[in-house]
Structure 1
Amino acid sequence: MRIYLPLQPPILEPVQDSSYRYREFLPCKALEPYVACYWTVEFDASYGRRLHRIIPDGCVDIIFDLKAPSFSKGAMVAGFMTSYETIYLTESRASFGIRFFVEQARRWIGHSISELTGRTVFLEDVWGAEASLAVEQVQEAGSVQAIIGLVESMLLEKLRHHEYPVDPLIRSGLQHLYAGRGMLSVRTLAEKLCYSERSVRRRFQKELGISPKELANIVQFQSLLQELRKGTSSALSDLAAKYGYFDQPHFIHMFKRFYGLTPHRILKQDVRFLQS
């Protein structure tokens, strides 16, 4: 059973809009430790523009543009995000994404994850000519299920033949953060890892380009979103206390920082959260 399941706004705020569709798909069992999910976005611009919101989820994505005219520029790597982003979709698009857990991303991308934090680069910049071939194959695959089958074959092949060892401290550190739903101080995390706080901070910064505290904040926030998705009758003040926020104002501040909206706005937009 997975202990960390990151969410994005379209899952939390489902909308009745025939021009816009966001879906997620789970990976096969062998890839579960590495891939959070596959996802697709389809948008028909003939109905007008649409706001697309992206929030920090503790992951790194490879994104294929299924309509890109150039194979060499048809895929991107989106690095670790530390704040929300909003994009107005104005042109029709179809995208397929692979969402990797941040501690596992280098194994597949073959490039320093710390250098990608807060950035988006062409996949060609990190994979070279292999990127164009991958884009061509993905675009020609057709259906989403066919794309998933193709992508999983690629990933499993890399798993068998390309070794990018994950730093043991980073791997163990993330497992502690996931299990603790992000509610661990750097001191407590360091004690669990049997390292000094300074060593833990330096290693996270070197390998991931982010501090352990910032990553813990994102895991904490995402863990709370999971509870909201399940439906809860708890008051916001109770949720804030349960997930380690000092008080409701602190909770609202962090929610706006990562989501761009207050939790009250989300609750009003989806009655499921009010009918637990």
Structure 2
Amino acid sequence: MTRFYRPLHAPQLQPKLHRPSHSFREFAPSHRLASHVATYWTVDFQPVPGNQGHRVIPDGCVDIIVDLLASSSRQAAYVVGLTTQVEVLHFAKARSVWGIRLYSESARTILKSPISEFTANRVFMEELWGQEALDWVEKLLTAKSIPDRIDVVEQQLGQMLAGAEASAPTLVYQSMQYIYDYKGNLSVTDLADKVNFSERHLRRAFERELGLSPKEMLGIVRFQSVLEELYSGNYSSLTDLALQHGYYDQSHFAGAFMRYYGLPLKRLTRQE
């Protein structure tokens, strides 16, 4: 089960990002969907002077995104695949977005396609679900409140999961459970040993299913585990935090942080 892994994002770590022109909120899924859905989220953004943009950091998850200001349901909803480095989004127009963050090892059952198919370009939900997607998106666009929107999502996902044929856990699914258990602090060799496959076979399975390597996924989950401790304050020093999570030295730690977050670590830890 993946319930204990809940990735964090910039507005949670940088409270000063919250302002009238940039609102980010998260909502927990129901208990029955908690092993498939990490969170539901919304972003409302106004392109005013001083707005720093919306920072998207890697989290090992896949998102269904619904543009709530779209003029039609046909182009409103699409899938964004796994990201491996930070991206800061700047919008020229007002945005209001609803998101469903899926765990990567569960996403295939819901999206009916390998996650590797979503790495290069956004894929509209209509291409995946056909008319069913258009009907579903229309309900999301016309929902009167966030609880209503969550109810629409959970009914749809619940029906899809109930109708899916039960199958044995895949190699990627089994691997992800170990990655979560060890908070990403494993080598690919150790991970391959735990699932009883060769490193080569493991890499091929990850590339085919997720579109990235097991080493990359380990790095992302390890980074998110660091963010969790930064957020909670449960660490004695940055050096100890780096060593605890398997970073060889402070330089390696700082480099990983810049790649995945795009800001120096001190920007998040200093008191302003």
- TM-score grouping bracket, smaller chain normalisation: over 0.9
Structure 1 counterpart SS, 2:3: coil
Unpaired stretches in structure 1, ≥5 consecutive residues: 272-276
Matched with 1:56 is 58
Matched, 1:168 2:170: yes
Counterpart for residue 150 of structure 2: 148
Change (3 A) 1:233 1:117: same
Q: Distance in 2 between matches of 1:99 and 1:265?
A: 26
* Corresponding residue to 1:104 among 94, 103, 106: 106
Any conservation in 2 of the 1:82–1:118 contact (CA below 8 Å)? no
8 Å CA contact retained: 2:46, 2:95:
yes
The aligned amino acid for 2:115 is: I
| Equivalent residue number for residue 231 of structure 2 | 229
Distance apart, 1:165 and its partner CA = 4.4
Equivalence for 2:84: 82
Q: Is it true that 1:190 corresponds to 2:192 in the alignment?
A: yes
Count of matched residue positions in the alignment of Structure 1 and Structure 2: 270
Distance 2:210 2:121 in 1: 13
Unaligned runs of 5+ in 2: none
More displaced, 7-16 or 120-129? 120-129
* Contact 1:106–1:164 (CA under 8 A) maintained in structure 2: no
Aligned to 1:94: 96
Write the letter of the residue equivalent to 2:4: I
Distance in 2 separating the partners of 1:117 and 1:246: 30
SS in 2 for 1:217: helix
Find the partner of 1:240 among 227, 239, 242.
242
CA 1:129–1:164 in structure 2 vs 1: closer, same or farther (change >3 Å)?
farther
- 1:13 and 2:9 equivalent? no
> In structure 2, which of residues 187, 206, 212 is the aligned counterpart of residue 210 of structure 1?
212
Contact 2:140 / 2:149 at 8 angstroms: preserved in 1? Answer: yes
Paired residue type of 2:13:
L
Q: Distance in 1 between matches of 2:218 and 2:59?
A: 11
Q: Secondary structure at the match of 1:89?
A: coil
Question: SS at 2:15's partner residue?
Answer: coil
Q: Write the distance in 1 (CA, Å) between the matches of 2:168 and 2:134.
A: 27
Task: Provide the residue aligned with 1:44 in structure 2.
Answer: 46
Residues 186-210 of structure 1, C-alpha deviation per residue, up to 9 Å, x if partnerless?
1111111111111111111111111
Distance 1:48 1:134, change over 3 A: farther
Secondary structure at the aligned position of 2:109 is classed as helix
Native 8 Å contact 2:229 2:235 kept in 1: no
Residue 131 of structure 1 and its aligned partner are, at CA, apart by: 2.0
Matched, 1:157 2:159: yes
| Partner SS state of residue 195, structure 1 | coil
User: What is the root-mean-square deviation of aligned Cα atoms in Å?
Assistant: 1.8
What letter corresponds to residue 150 of structure 1 in structure 2?
Answer: V
Q: Deviations over 1:213-244 (max 9, x none)?
A: 11000000000100011024522111110110
Q: Which stretch has the larger CA shift, 244-253 or 190-199?
A: 190-199
Rounded Cα–Cα distance in structure 1 between residues aligned with 2:235 and 2:172: 36
Question: Where does 1:239-258 land on structure 2 (aligned, <5 Å)?
Answer: 239-258=241-260
TM, length-normalised to structure 1: 0.92
